[in-house]
């Protein structure tokens, strides 16, 4: 038997750890350059009203294609950006770029859609988020109702009173607020009665195995019931099959987002969803 704490083991952990630290530093530095060089892109994933098949909005999702490292997924670089704090600058760029895109679509005559932007908890800490959002609304001239901020339950880990005040100030601007990845965080459900939310997004981990996994069905049902009693609208994330969609419709879920309709795509490709409704994917 190899001794688990032998010197070779330390060497192994050392080099694995070094590689991880080096990769993190690399991503951090490169992200800084990417932000300033304009190498970050926003893609847009349509959100579909289940009852009508109409596109009601898009979620803006960051994409980063690095010249030598290739595509770096948000799941890798967002946590690093949050840790280092550069998410504040990245987040401002995302907000402004999404709002500018909304303004362009409005100028083309499209109406009644919303662009959802992911906001990290870090963007609430020591930042004037409502001031930034207000400034971007003014800059771009879009109606506040065209913008939705997606927050996560990790917000509750920070200064609660301050978070609540910030959410209310954002809400007072007229933008919509959605709770992303609902049900996966560690926070208490009591925020549902305090946060001025408009929408709950059912996490894709629950959607993935419905209607076969009874536990996930039970959780999804409970989320739908909760949203209904709080007067919140619902978006199911990660909808991939007609079967999942049919079940979500039966449960009374409002909107769906997922590969069944489209992955996140560049703005020019997202535009076709304004005209082309994805009725083909909707069972009768
Ligand atoms: P999220 O906000 O929950 O976004 C949904 C994720 O699910 C996206 O991954 C999307 O591409 C993916 N997705 C959509 N439909 C399906 C589906 O049918 N099946 C599967 N398996 N996945 C689907 P993505 O773009 O890789 O982003 C991952 C996470 O990174 C996001 O999760 C969000 O937390 C974060 N993120 C992305 N862009 C931003 C951003 O601009 N700012 C911040 N703070 N976070 C971002
Ligand atoms: Mg999101
Ligand atoms: Mg999500
Ligand atoms: Mg997620």
Neighbours of 211 (CB within 10 A): 15
Please state which of the ranges 7-11, 21-25, 152-156, 174-178 shows the lowest mean pLDDT: 7-11
Q: 65-100: per-residue pLDDT in tens?
A: 999 999 999 999 999 999 999 999 999 999 999 999
The Cα–Cα gap between 10 and 26 comes to: 24
Cα 112 to chain centroid, rounded: 20
Residue nearest atom 27 in ligand 1 by C-alpha distance: 74
pLDDT beyond 90 at 171: yes
The first and second tokens of residue 99, run together, are 């709002």
Q: 106-139: per-residue pLDDT in tens?
A: 999 999 999 999 999 999 888 899 999 999 999 9
pLDDT beyond 70 at 277: no
pLDDT beyond 90 at 280: no
The first and second tokens of residue 182, run together, are 């609902």
Å from CA of 238 to ligand 3 middle: 8
Percent of the chain with pLDDT over 90: 80
Ligand 1 near 181 CB (within 6 A): yes
Ligand 1 near 266 CB (within 6 A): no
Atom of ligand 1 nearest to the CA of 42: 41
List Cβ<8 Å contacts ≥24 apart for 2-11: none
Å from CA of 284 to ligand 2 middle: 28
pLDDT beyond 90 at 14: no
Q: Supply the pTM of this predicted model.
A: 0.93
Higher pLDDT, residue 241 or 283: 241
Residue nearest atom 26 in ligand 1 by C-alpha distance: 74
pLDDT beyond 80 at 10: no
Please state which of the ranges 89-98, 170-179, 275-284 shows the lowest mean pLDDT: 275-284
Residue nearest atom 24 in ligand 1 by C-alpha distance: 74
pLDDT beyond 70 at 183: yes
Å from CA of 3 to ligand 1 middle: 41
CA distances in angstroms from 38 to 24, 139, 229, listed in the order given = 20, 20, 44
Tokens 């959605």 locate to 178
Q: In the predicted model, what is the mean pLDDT of residues 159-178?
A: 93
Ligand 1 near 61 CB (within 6 A): yes
Residue nearest atom 25 in ligand 1 by C-alpha distance: 61
Q: Residue 277 region, left (φ>0) first, then alpha (ψ -120 to 50), else beta?
A: beta
Ligand 1 near 46 CB (within 6 A): no
Give the pLDDT band of residue 239 (cuts 50, 70, 90): very high
DSSP string, the chain: ---TTSHHHHHHHHHHHHHHHHHHHHHHHHHHHHHHHT-EEEEEEEEEETTT--EEEEEEEEEEEETTTEEE-HHHHHHHHHHHSTHHHHHHHHHHHHHHHHHHHHHTT--S-EEEEE--GGGGSSS-HHHHHHHHHHHH---GGGEEEEE-GGGGGS-HHHHHHHHHHHHHHT-EEEEEEETSS-S-GGGGGTS--SEEEE-HHHHTTTTT-HHHHHHHHHHHHHHHHHT-EEEE----SHHHHHHHHHHT--EE-STTT---B-HHHHTHHHHS--GGGS--
Closest CA to 262 of 254, 247, 252, 273: 273
CA distances in angstroms from 245 to 96, 99, 170, 199, listed in the order given = 32, 29, 32, 18
Give the pLDDT band of residue 7 (cuts 50, 70, 90): low
pLDDT beyond 60 at 281: no
pLDDT of residue 224: 96
Å from CA of 248 to ligand 4 middle: 19
pLDDT of residue 257: 98
pLDDT of residue 250: 96
Residue nearest atom 4 in ligand 1 by C-alpha distance: 61
The Cα–Cα gap between 177 and 103 comes to: 19
Tokens 């069972």 locate to 283
């Amino acid at each position: 038997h190899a001794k688990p704490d032998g010197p070779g083991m330390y060497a192994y952990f050392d080099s694995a750890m070094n590689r991880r630290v080096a990769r993190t530093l690399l991503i951090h530095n490169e992200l800084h350059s990417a932000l300033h060089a304009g190498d970050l892109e926003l893609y847009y994933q349509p959100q579909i009203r289940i009852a009508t098949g109409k596109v009601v909005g898009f979620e803006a999702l960051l994409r980063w294609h690095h010249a030598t490292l290739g595509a770096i997924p948000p799941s890798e670089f967002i946590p690093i950006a949050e840790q280092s704090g550069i998410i504040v600058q990245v987040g401002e760029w995302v907000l402004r770029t999404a709002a500018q895109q909304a303004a362009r679509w409005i100028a083309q005559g499209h109406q009644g859609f919303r662009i959802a932007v992911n906001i990290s908890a870090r963007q609430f800490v020591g930042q004037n988020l409502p001031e930034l959002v207000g400034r971007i609304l003014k800059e771009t001239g879009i109606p506040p109702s065209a913008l939705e901020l997606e927050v996560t339950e990790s917000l509750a880990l920070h200064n609660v009173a301050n978070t609540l005040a910030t959410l209310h100030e954002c809400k007072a601007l007229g933008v919509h607020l959605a709770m992303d990845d609902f049900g996966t965080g560690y926070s208490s459900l009591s925020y549902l009665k305090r946060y001025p939310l408009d929408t709950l997004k059912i996490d894709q981990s629950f959607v993935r195995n419905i209607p076969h996994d009874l536990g996930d069905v039970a959780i999804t049902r409970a989320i739908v019931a909760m949203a209904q009693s709080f007067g919140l609208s619902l978006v199911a994330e990660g909808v991939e099959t007609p079967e999942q969609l049919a079940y979500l419709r039966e449960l009374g879920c409002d909107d769906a987002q997922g590969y069944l309709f489209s992955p996140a795509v560049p703005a020019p490709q997202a535009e076709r969803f304004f005209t082309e409704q994805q009725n083909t994917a909707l069972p009768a």
